[in-house]
A and B are shown apart, each in its own frame.
Chain A
Amino acid sequence: MRYFAGIDMGSTAIKIALMDDEGMPAGRTAAPTGSHFRKNTLAALGLLLEEEGIDRSDVAYVLSTGYGRKLFHDADETVSEITANAAGARAIAGSDAVRTIINIGGQDSKVLLLDADGQVRNFVMNDKCAAGTGRFLEMTARNLGTEVDELGDLHRRCSGAPLPVTSTCTVFAESEIISLLANGHGREEIVAGVHYSIARRIVRLARRIGIEDGVFFDGGPALNSGMVAALEDELMRKVTVPALPQFTTAIGAATLARAAWIETREQVDA
């Protein structure tokens, strides 16, 4: 059996997806990025292959993407996370179902518009800083003495109006949240306020290129049901969240790895 690996080297986590000859998923893993990109990636890949009982020599093509892609010289090819994300959404939901992709990552957020074939037609990314990204959610959880995966529940329990969190800067927002807590506001309202603040920012970004129906929401923060609810409110439409939103880009990279390998083989055969 021949396998293909897509490695998404994000700012927070390394995600790896394996695919077999038929294009079926053959395993996945996630590991913290840490400061030793290459070492951690190789370790995570090694562990995954061991778990799945796959020999390294059976991995025919490795494609890396994400923020650290160029630091991973062991890959056969690198591709930007935008192209990989689109490929992932196509593979998971089918190109008919997706026109707009909203991705919130560890330290950036982006909106992609796809054409009828599922190819990237236009995209925008947040400018320069970590405002409205996963890092923002991590900071919120830390200050409220909770975990990122608890934020969805807190949001659901919010009964009043969410509190406005107006600071764009993650650092200033942190002091804003601390003073809201000090003033006796509930964690539920603060969390909902943070979700709405991120959602409004990303919708503003999305309006720059236009939003089309068939919205696909992925990246780690899409696991947070509060974030999904706030985003749907701000977009004023439903979004589709895949089962494993944090793996979309890695799955896309694996799909592209398989396609690249087939293409190279065809050229060799011809």
Chain B
Amino acid sequence: MDKERLERLRKTTGVHLAMEAKETLRQMEEDFPVHPAAMQYFYEQFRIAYGSGGANEDGRKRVGTLCVQVPEELVRAAGAVPVRLCSGAHAFDQVGAEFLPAKSCSLMKATLGMLSLRSTAFSGTLDLVVNPTTCDQKKKAGELLEEFGYRVYNLEMPASRDSEEAREYWHRSVKNFGAALERTTGVRITKQRLADAIRATGLARAAYRRLHGLQQSRQALIRGTDAMLVTNAYFFDDLDRWTGAVNALADELEDRQDRSVFVAGKHAARILFTGSPPVFPNLKLPLLIEQAGGVIVADEVCSSSRLLYDLAAYDEQALYDMVPAVADRALKPCTCPVFSSSQDRIRRLLDLAQTFSADGVVYQTIAGCMPYDQEQRTVGRALAAANIPLLLVETDYGPDDHGQLSTRVEAFIESLRGKARKRA
């Protein structure tokens, strides 16, 4: 691409991005009053990141990650800051559409579109980009990123999680990744450094679990879209500051619980959200659900609960035990449909539906995402057998299907009314 066109593309895309972000935040803040005051911190993070001035730099090395599977503890132990690059912006989606196959999913088009612009305002300076070889589209993304001029590390993943061979393969892969990180940052991953990283990320995850637990409240204390914004901020926010803000939010919600301050009525349909990840600013479907009178009480997506639910556990403070613990944390509980079996995901969904008293499930497939699309069948059958209503939605980052989707979502929420009343 010639320089002039690149500059123009960056500028126009920047304008589109700011408009999108502004609109999503406007809907979140204005359509739903009675937000917890502690949410302001998160709205502000997105206003800064998407409006006024891009990623914050503090001199530390930055390692971009393209998937939830990258063991962030190792990145932090090597003295770098992990930044999740998965993008939800339609503006970047359109940039990626220029060079990716038409049937690629919006998430890949947006992420690679963003990175192709090589603009520090959007993704910051990246010392390394880690690309786990998960779905086919991600596997092929590594080469493309090298072409854009990034240093890329392809983190090799097994196709299954159940066998001992897969586990060994993954442990070796993660160990090699640790060595590559050390070469990038020049900082050795010592057992003390790794213990600190496991502790700091563990505290963040514990804070998330408090929030997650509060979502079980019989009457909703927080909107699902707000909860998604909180977890989306984890993509780029400072770790300790984020943990503090989430704990402050949980404190406020506990206080509101005592005072019976809720964000939705008793009869609001409780929704469990699953499928392709909703990433800011593409909160189209979650927002439609809550605008139609539903409330998302739990999710099973890699941009929210799957990102933060699990903790690394080790017995001995020695690298030979801690590195595998971190690797297991990333692999074993992961319910991504790229793995050959869908049974764990089904169990997780049934469990979440029960513990969070969900009235129905909304399953999002981003058009072009084959693994999620295929798993609709098995998941759909399991939910039907458990008598849990399901709405399957195929969509993308574009705004074109908004009207049609709103009708479908409203009808689904209306059809759950009877169930919600009986429950309440």
Contact = CB atoms under 8 A, between A and B. Distances in A.
B165 to A, nearest CB: 38
Contacts of B394: 127
Contact of A67 (B390, B400, B403, B411): B403
Contact of B407 (A119, A121, A125, A128): A125
A209 to B, nearest CB: 9
A82 interface: yes
Interface in A93-149: 108, 119-123, 125, 127-128
Contacts of A119: 415, 418
Nearest to B390: A122
A125 B400 CA distance: 15
A69 B349 CA distance: 34
B415 A121 contact: yes
Contacts of B254: none
Interface in B388-424: 389-390, 394, 400-401, 403-404, 407-408, 410-411, 414-415, 418
A80 B403 contact: no
Nearest to A107: B404
Contacts of A108: 404
A80 B410 CA distance: 6
B401 A82 contact: no
A119 B418 CA distance: 9
Interface string B103-144: 000000000000000000000000000000000000000000
A83 B403 contact: no
Contacts of B411: 80-83, 120, 123
B408 A125 contact: yes
A207 to B, nearest CB: 13
Contacts of A79: 410, 414
A83 B408 contact: no
Contacts of B415: 82-83, 119-121
Given A121-B415, A127-B394, A82 B400 contact: no
Nearest to B367: A127
Q: What band does the interface of chain B fall in when counting residues whose beta carbon is under 8 Å from A?
A: 10 to 19
Nearest to A70: B406
Contacts of B403: 67
A128 to B, nearest CB: 6
Interface string A232-251: 00000000000000000000
Nearest to A128: B401
Residue among B394, B403, B404 with max Cβ neighbours from chain A (10 Å): B404
Contacts of A81: 407, 411
A119 B390 CA distance: 15
A83 B404 contact: no
A128 B410 contact: no
Contacts of B414: 79-80, 82-83, 120
Nearest to A79: B414
A80 B407 contact: yes
Interface in B193-238: none
Contacts of B389: 121-122
A121 B410 CA distance: 14
A125 B404 CA distance: 9
B307 to A, nearest CB: 30
B418 A128 contact: no
Nearest to B411: A82
A127 B390 CA distance: 18
A251 B407 CA distance: 19
Nearest to A112: B411
A82 B418 contact: no
A169 to B, nearest CB: 15
Contacts of A80: 407-408, 410-411, 414
B106 to A, nearest CB: 15
Contacts of A83: 410-411, 414-415
B404 A82 contact: no
Contacts of A120: 411, 414-415
B422 to A, nearest CB: 12
Interface string A57-90: 0000000000100000000000111110000000
Contacts of A128: 400-401, 404
Contacts of B407: 67, 80-82, 125
A108 B394 CA distance: 16
A122 B360 CA distance: 11
A120 B389 CA distance: 10
16 contacts: A79-B410, A80-B407, A80-B408, A80-B414, A81-B411, A82-B410, A82-B414, A83-B414, A83-B415, A119-B415, A120-B415, A122-B389, A123-B408, A123-B411, A125-B404, A125-B407
Given A67-B407, A80-B414, A125-B404, 9 more contacts: A79-B414, A81-B407, A81-B411, A82-B407, A82-B411, A83-B410, A83-B414, A83-B415, A120-B415
Interface of A: 67, 79-83, 108, 119-123, 125, 127-128
Query: Can you list the 3 inter-chain pairs with the closest CB atoms, starting with the nearest?
Result: A82-B411, A80-B410, A80-B411
